[in-house]
Structure 1
Amino acid sequence: MSEKKTGLPKFLTWIMMGFVMVGLLGFGAVSFNGSIQSVGSVGDTEIPVDDYARGLQNELRASEAQFGRVLSFSEAQAVGIPDRVLSRLVQEKALENEAAAISLSVGDDAVRNQIMEINAFRGLDGQFDRQNYQLSLEGAGYTEAEFEAAIRAESARTLLQGAVLAGNTMDDVATETVLAFLMETRDFTIARLSEENLTTPVADPTDDVLNAYYTDNIANYTQPERKDITYAVLSPDMLIDQIQVDQAALQAEYDNRIDQYQQPERRLVERLVFIDQAGATDALSQITTGAKTFEDLVQARGLTLDDVDLGDVARDALDAAADAVFTASVGDIVGPFDSDLGPALFRVNGILDAQTVTLEDARSELEDELALDLARRQIDAMIGQVDDTLAAGATLEELEADYGLRLGRVEYHANTLDEITAYPSFRQAAEAVTERDFPTLKMLEDGGIFALRLNEIVAPAPIPFDEARETVLSDWRADEIAAALTSFGNDVATGAVQLDLATEEFTGLRRDEFGSSATPAILAKAFELEVGQAAAITDGSEVVVVTLNAVNAGDVTSEDAATIRNALSSQFNATLSNDMYAAFARQIQARAGISLDQQALNAVHANFQ
C-alpha cells in the first residue's frame, strides 16, 4: 500500500465508521458473481454492482421501520429508494475519483487503526480478533482487500468533504441585518369584538338557506369511506364481576405495598451543598442578616431550585439534619449539617403528615387490581383453545356462544373512536383487514383478546340533511357571525364606526414574543401595519382590531441578541458550507462525467423482485 497524505481527524473517523458498519454488519451479504461488475462509473472510478445491491438492501430494510412492513420493489421504486441509493453512490464515487485525481489518500497505519476500532471485530478480551474479522467480512460479502479498499476510499472521501465544509464563514452583514430585523419590536393596541357588539343580530335562517349552505359545503357533511366490521372481544373488565378474590391474597398484596399505604411524616426539602463548613456557615450568615436569599445563593452557584430540590423525604433519609428539619417550620432554613455530598443548608417548603391507609380502606382498590390480574390469566389460559377453534374455521358468532366473547359491529374509519376502537391494536388490525382475510386472534393492550371480520367497504356518502341539520345550523351561524364581525371590524378599523371598546396595550414585543393574548396571528398583523394604521383580523372565534402605535429598533447588545447572533452566524455558516459542498459536488461530477449501465441496474433490480 502506497502512503500519500495521511491522518484522519477523530470526528471524521467516527463518521466513516458509521458508514462502514451500516454497510458491513446491518443486513448480511449481497453478492453478484456474474459477468456484471459495475452499474456505472464516475470518471475513472467504477460503481461496483455489489455496492449498489448492498445499498439497496440496506435501504429496503431501513424502510420497514418507516412503513411498518416490507415494501415490494415496485413500491420502493415509487418512493424513490433506488434513485436515492444510486444518487448517493454517484456522489461518493465522484469524491473518490477527485481524491484519486489530486493524490489524496490515507496510509496503511490509518486503515489498520480504523479497523482495530470496530467493536464487531473484537474478541471476548476486547482486543482485535482476526477470526471475528474474517467471519464478519465473509458474512457481509466482502473480501479483506475489498473491505480495506472501502475504508481507504471512505477515508479519502471524508477528508475531501471535510476540507470543503470546514472554515466557511458568512459575512457579518447578513447576520447583523437579520438580527436587527428579528430584534425589532412593536407597540400596539387590540380591541376584541364579539357577537354582542353587532348592532344588527344575525337573523335565523330559512330551511332554503340552510339547504343551500348544506349543498355548498357537502364535503363537511359526508361520511368518509368506512369498513363495516364485525368483531368478537373478551377483555378483563368483562370478567371482573365473575371473579372472587381470596382474602389471603388480598392481605398478601396489602402487605407487599405496605410502604404505599403506611407512610411516615415527611418534609418537602431543598438542600444546598457547599465545599466546606466555612462556606456553608458564611452562606447561612448572609441569609440570617438579609444580605442574600436562599434563591440568591442557589443562583450564584449556577444552579436552579429544581437542582437542589429533594422532593418529599422521610426522617431517616436526612441523617444529621433530620431533627432540625423535622422541628423547623415551613420556610425555615437550617444547617449547616453534614450530608453525603458535604456540608449543606436545608430549606423546609412543606410538611406532609403521616398517612395510614387500612386494609379495609384499600380493599376496593386491591380487589379490583387482583381481579383484573386473575381475569388476564384466565383469558391467557383460553388463548390457545380459542386460536385453534378459529383456525379450524369457527365463526365469530360461534366464539360468542362457546367462549363468551362479546359480539359487536362498527363502521370503522380513521376518526372513529369508541370503546373498541380506542385500542391501538384494534385500530391497527382494522386498518389492515381486507375482505379476503379470515379472522385471527389478536391481543388487546389490557390483556384482552379479539378477532374481527370485514363485511364490506362502505363508500363515502352524504349524511342526510335531516340528520345533519343541527350541525349545519351551528356551522351556518358561526360563518355568518364571523362574516358580520369581520365587516364590522373593518368599519371600526377605518373609523367608519365609533365604539367605546375595552382595549389591551402591548409594548416592546418582538415577532416571536406571542402569548395567550398577543397570539401569533395578532402579532403578525401588528408587524404588517404602518404606525397609526388599524386592521381587523379573525383570530379563532373572535375578530380583533389591531392598531399599531410605534415601531422600535431592537436592542442588539442584549444577552438575547448575543444568543440569536451566535445561532444565526452558525446557521449561515452551515448553509454556506452546504451550498459550497453542493456546488463542488456538482462540478466534480460534471467534470469527471457520469456513465450508468441500465442493463446492469435492471439485473440488480431483478434480484429484488
Structure 2
Amino acid sequence: MITFFRRFFQSKIGIAVTLAFLGLIAFAFASADVSSTGTFGGVSGGDRVAVVGDKKISTSDLSRAASNAVDSMRQQNPTISTEEFIGQGGLQQVLDQLLEQTAISGFAEKYGLRAGTNLVNSEIMSIPVFRGADGNFDEDAYRQALAQRGLTDASVRDELRNGLLAKQILLPASYGATAPDKFAVQYASLLRETRSGAIALLPAPAFAPENDPTDPQLQEYYDENQADFIRPERRTIRYLSFDDSVVGDLATPTAEEVAARYEENSEAFAASEQRTVTQMIVSTQEAANAIRDRVNSGGSLAVAAREAGLQTAQIGPISQADYAAQISSSTVADAVFAAAEGTVAEPARSGLGFHVVLIDDVTSTAGKSLDQARAEITAALTEEKRQTAIADLSADIEEKVDSGIALSDIAQELGVDIATTRPVTGDGAVYEGQGETIPQVLGPALQTAFQMEEGKPQLAAIVPGQLFLVFEVGQITRSAVAPLADIRDRAIVGWKLSEGSSQARAAVDRIMERIKGGAAINAAVAAEDVTLPPIDSINMNREQLAQAGQQVPAPLALLFSMAEGTTKKLEGPRNAGWFVVRLDDIEAGTVAEGDPIFAQTKQQISSALQEEFGEQLRTAIKAEIGSETNEAAIEAVRKQLTGEQ
C-alpha cells in the first residue's frame, strides 16, 4: 500500500492536480529517505514538526498533507482509513516527502533558481480540472476545486512553484543518461542465464502449537499486532428513490396545445423530398451539355468523368435546402430538384463551375395534416409534461433537502418507503455480509455517503430526468482496532501462526547447519521430525522468470540473486512460514549486440541510471540543506489524526 502511495501521491493537491504538473518529475519522488541530522535549531516549537534549512514545516502542514493523501488513496482503496494509513507508515511517508520537497525548494532558492508568477499561472491554466465547459481556464472551477480539497490559492501556488523548481533541478541531472554497451551486454546476458537448485518450504501451521495460548500470551500478541486487527469504517445508509411514477396521471394535452405545436413545427409536418445524386463539375457550358447528352443517351457519368480526367462525388440523401447550402448555389439546386429520377439535370453554374448531376434516387415523404399528426404530437407533449413535472418535483425535493427537511418528511410527501442498509464499507460491501453488497441504486452515491455527516440528506440524480435518490448517513462506526474479546478466535489463530513461524525458523536454522556440514538439502530437511511439503527442484532461466511480471515469488527472486553453491533462508509473509533456498549451479548466458534483448535491456538500464542520478542528487541536496524533526510534534499530529487522546 505504501509503495503505491509513494509512487502515486507527491503533493498536497492530490491526484486531480499532481498528475497535471508533476508527471515529468514523478520518477524524482519515487523513493526517498530523510535523515534527521539533529544539528539545526528552531524545531522545538510545539507548532512545527520539522525545520529544513531555514524553512519550517508546521503541524498543520503535515496534518493537511496526510488527510489529503488518505482522501486521494480512497479513490483506489475506498475502505482505507486514516488509522490504517498511519499504521502502515503513511504519516512518515508524507513527512519524508514534505522534507524532501522543502529541501529541493530551499536548494533552488539558494542557487538563484526561480519560478515566477507568470510561469505558475501558466501551469494553473493548463490543469484540466480547472477548465470550464469551453475548454478554457475557469476561475470558478478553480476556486471550487480548491474548496473541495480544502486548499487555498497560496498553498496550490506553493506546490506548483516547488514542482517547477524540482523540474529545473532534477531533470537535467538525469536527462540523457545512457548505459554503456558493454554494461548492457553484461546485464542482457543475465536474462539467458540458467539456474538450478531447490526450494524447501517449512509452513508455520506444521510447527504451530496445538494448545491455545494463555490469556497473558494472547494479550501480549494482540498488543504487539494491533495493526492487523483494524476494522474499516462502516456506515448505514438510509435512502429512498423515486421516478416519474410519483407524479401520477397528468392532464391530457388540449386540442389548442396540439394545434399550437403543429403550427410551430409546420415544416416538420410538410411534404418533403430527398435526393441522392452523383455529380461532377466541369469548367464550360459546352462540356457540361455534351456530358449530359451522352449520359441521357445511355452513357456512364463515371466513364465520362474518367475520360475527362475528373472525378464524381455522390451526395445524399439530402434535401433541396441542404444541397443548396452545401454547394452555395440555389440555381443548381433548383435544376437538380426539377429533374426526373435517372436523368441528368440541366447543367447550372455555381462558384466552382458547371454542375453535371445524375439523379440516382428520389425519396418523397408525404406531409401530415393536423389530424394525422395529432397522436404523435399528443405523445410528445405528454412526455414533455411528465419530464417537466419530475424536474419540478426533483427541484422541490432538492430545495427541501437544502433547507434541512428530514428524510422521513420527504418520504411521506412522495408516498414511498425509506430503506436502510446494514453497515457497509467504503467499497460497497456489507460488513461481515459474506459477499453481500449494497443495492445497485446506491452505487453512484456511495463515495459521497462516506464523506457526509450523519442525518443530512442529499439528492442525487441516478438516471438524469428519470430516477432520483434521496439518502443520508445513519450510524457511523469509525475505523478502530477491534476489541480482543470480539476477535479472540482470530487472534488465537494469529498467535498459533506466529508461534509456528518462530518454530519454523528454528527448524530452518537446524537445516542450514546440516547443509553447512555437508548434507544435501533433501536429507537436511528430512531430518526434521515434522511432515513437510515436498522440496521443489528448480531449473529455469531469467527469461522464464520475467514471464511472471512483477509477481515473481520471493523464493525464486532470492534464488536468482544468490551466489552459486550457497544456501539461504527466507521468511514468508504474514507468519506463513520459512523457506530454505539452495542454488547448486549457474549456467551463464550469452547475448550479441544485435540480439533484440540487448536493446531492450540497454533502455531499461538507462532508465534505471536516470532514476539513480536523480536519487543521488536528492540525497546530496537533503544533506546540504539539512533537516531536523520534532518527534513530539509528529506524535501529536498522529494522535490528532487518529482521534487518540
Q: Does TM, scored on the shorter chain, surpass 0.5?
A: no
**TM-score grouping bracket, smaller chain normalisation:** 0.3 to 0.5
The structure whose RCO (Cα within 8 Å, separation 6+) is larger is: 2
Q: TM-score, normalised by structure 1?
A: 0.41
